[in-house]
């Protein structure tokens, strides 16, 4: 049975979003019923607060300022947005004088002090904190991913440098290059260090752009990605993936000037792709088969790790034999290593599509049997077009 915990705060219902252990519950409750930002009474408290964390944000205000109200509203429940650095407020005049600010917000990041210059609306203030809290080099992990790939930081480009963390000298050299070049592009690009020796990162490494099977990358290597497309990352791959200062700088200069084309996964075409009843497609020949006006093609777009896809393979082979002497081509394509420019992205596996002779398409969502798919073909893609199954990624 699922348990739902709610807190009523000043007439507002606040759903519980904390952990399951007693200390976590207590910590969450104290945050929700306490002040939205820690109150600092003196310059000494401000100095201690701003040096205790890698990132801290303080609002310096007079007691009755309107900006203070906006700041406290922005701080309320701010930790629910995946960012957990501390926020505070002070009305101490000595502190305001020391840091050269009056009725304003300052983000402290190491030795840097970044002053806020925008409007005192909740979203503008939160966007400021989320953007400016990002260090020059972000160490990729589950927590930082929540920050760099969500608004507003998803609107920036991300340079991902993949390296072997166990190789200390390699890691040191890579980060040295990133620091030198990062200063020049920090307003446009977030620099991210990805340790490929961490087990939890390996699936993400593939998702973010590295496919040894088709690219033959060696570490260290790099990509630029954008996350503006809700369907996934758009990659930009350099011809030279060497992580050296001049190479990295030149690539980013070209990229920021719009001179780098998108990168698409293209699996090499096997010599025996046409030898069996079920044809093997890659990004190199898929349009040749699916856009042929003399034949129609029924294609299974699959992922090698997908259990549903593995179950479907015997059915697909049987269908291939059944239609081997017809104008219907049975084919399959591994969509994890193949992307076709201008084509709709495959997001659910397996996806079964009929590519008709006239260029139209129909997607099959019926029972995955020889009989069911045969009816789909015999009805020209009408049978099996009921409400689609849930995603099976």
pLDDT top residue among 372 and 187: 372
State what percent of residues in the chain have pLDDT above 90: 58
pLDDT for res 3: 64
Same-domain pairing of 113 and 154: no
Mean pLDDT in the chain? 87
Same domain, 97 and 112: yes
| Stronger pLDDT, 161 or 9, i.e. the higher one | 161
Whether the per-residue pLDDT at 388 is higher than 50: the answer is no
CATH number for 342: 3.40.30.10
Q: Considering the domain boundaries, does residue 19 fall inside one? A: yes
- For residues 99 and 146, membership in a common domain is answered with no
**What is the DSSP annotation of 291-359?**
T-TT-EEEEEEE-TT-HHHHHHHHHHHHHHHHTTTSSEEEEEEETTS---TTSPPP-SSSEEEEE-TTS
pLDDT at 234: 86
In a domain, 354, yes or no: yes
Least confident segment among 81-90, 102-111, 343-352: 81-90
Q: Tell whether pTM > 0.85.
A: no
- Condensed to tens digits (0 to 9), the pLDDT of residues 161-212 reads 999 888 899 999 999 999 999 999 988 999 999 998 888 777 767 666 566 5
- In this prediction, residue 391 carries a pLDDT of 44
CA distance 268 to 338: 9
- Which sign, positive or negative, has the C-alpha torsion 15, 17, 20, 23? negative
Residues 128 and 98 in one domain: yes
Check whether residue 47 and residue 101 sit in a common domain.
Answer: yes
Residue 154 confidence (pLDDT) above 60: yes
pLDDT reported for residue 251: 96
Does residue 52 form part of some domain? yes
Does 138 score more than 50 pLDDT? yes
For 101, the domain range is 35-132
Domain count within the chain = 4
Work out the percent of the chain whose per-residue pLDDT is above 70.
85
Span 272-281, pLDDT tens digits: 999 999 999 9
CB 233 within 8 A of CB 227: yes
Give pLDDT, residue 28: 64
Quick one: average pLDDT of 239-247? 93
pLDDT higher than threshold 90 for residue 34? no
Are residues 125 and 149 both part of a single domain?
no
Q: What is the pLDDT of residue 393?
A: 41
Last residue in a domain, options 211, 226, 256: 256
Which pairs count as long-range contacts for 76-81, CB under 8 Å and 24+ apart, including other chains?
Answer: 76/36, 77/14, 77/32, 77/36, 78/36, 78/126, 78/129, 79/31, 80/17, 81/126, 81/130, 81/150
- What per-residue confidence (pLDDT) applies to 147? 81
The two tokens of residue 19 are 């952990």
User: Is it the case that residue 213 has pLDDT exceeding 60?
Assistant: no
Average confidence (pLDDT) over 33-38: 79
pLDDT, position 389: 44
pLDDT one-digit tens code per residue, 306-351: 999 999 999 999 999 999 999 999 999 999 889 888 887 787 999 9
Do 216 and 327 share a domain, yes or no?
no
Q: How confident is the model at residue 390 (pLDDT cuts 50, 70, 90)?
A: very low
Cα–Cα distance, 381 to 376 (Å, whole number): 5
Which of 78, 104, 132 is a domain's end point? Answer: 132
- For tokens 């059915």, what's the residue? 315
Neighbour count for residue 281 (Cβ, 10 Å): 27
Closest C-alpha to 352, from 323, 374, 337, 327: 374
What is the mean predicted confidence (pLDDT) over 358-367?
Answer: 94
End-to-end CA distance of the chain: 26
In this structure, are residues 127 and 145 in contact, taking their beta carbons and an 8 Å threshold?
no
* Radius of gyration of the CA atoms of the chain, in A: 27
């Amino acid at each position: 049975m699922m348990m739902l915990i709610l807190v009523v705060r000043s007439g507002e219902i606040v759903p519980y979003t904390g952990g399951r252990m007693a200390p976590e519950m207590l910590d969450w409750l104290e945050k929700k019923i306490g002040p939205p930002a820690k109150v600092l009474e003196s310059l000494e408290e401000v100095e201690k607060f701003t040096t205790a964390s890698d990132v801290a944000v303080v609002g310096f205000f007079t007691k009755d300022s309107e900006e203070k109200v906006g700041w406290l509203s922005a701080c309320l429940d701010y930790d629910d947005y995946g960012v957990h650095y501390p926020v505070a407020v002070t009305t101490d005049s000595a502190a305001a004088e020391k840091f050269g600010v009056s009725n304003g917000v300052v983000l402290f990041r190491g030795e840097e002090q970044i002053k806020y210059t925008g409007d005192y609306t909740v979203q503008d203030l939160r966007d400021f904190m989320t953007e400016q809290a990002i260090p020059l080099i972000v160490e990729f992990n589950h927590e930082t991913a929540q920050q760099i790939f969500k608004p507003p930081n998803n609107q920036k480009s991300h340079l991902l440098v993949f390296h072997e963390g166990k190789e200390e000298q390699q890691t040191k050299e890579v980060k040295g290059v990133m620091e030198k070049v990062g200063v020049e592009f920090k307003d446009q690009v977030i620099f991210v260090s990805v340790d490929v020796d961490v087990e939890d990162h390996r699936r993400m490494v593939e998702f973010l752009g590295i496919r040894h099977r088709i690219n033959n990358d060696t570490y260290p290597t790099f990509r630029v990605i954008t996350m503006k497309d809700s369907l996934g990352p758009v990659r930009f791959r350099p011809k030279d993936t060497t992580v050296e200062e001049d190479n990295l700088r030149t690539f980013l200069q070209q990229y920021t000037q719009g001179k780098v084309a998108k990168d698409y996964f293209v699996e090499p075409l096997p010599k025996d792709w046409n030898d069996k009843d079920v044809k093997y497609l890659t990004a190199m020949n898929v349009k040749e088969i699916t856009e042929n006006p003399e034949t129609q093609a029924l294609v299974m777009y699959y992922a090698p790790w997908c259990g549903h896809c593995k179950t479907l393979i015997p059915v697909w082979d049987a269908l291939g034999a059944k239609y081997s002497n017809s104008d219907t081509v049975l084919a399959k394509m591994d969509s994890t290593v193949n992307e076709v420019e201008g084509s709709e992205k495959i997001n659910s596996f397996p996806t079964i599509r009929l590519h008709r002779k006239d260029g139209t398409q129909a997607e099959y969502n019926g029972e995955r049997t020889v009989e069911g798919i045969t009816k789909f073909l015999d009805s020209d893609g009408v049978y099996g077009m009921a409400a689609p199954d849930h995603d099976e990624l």
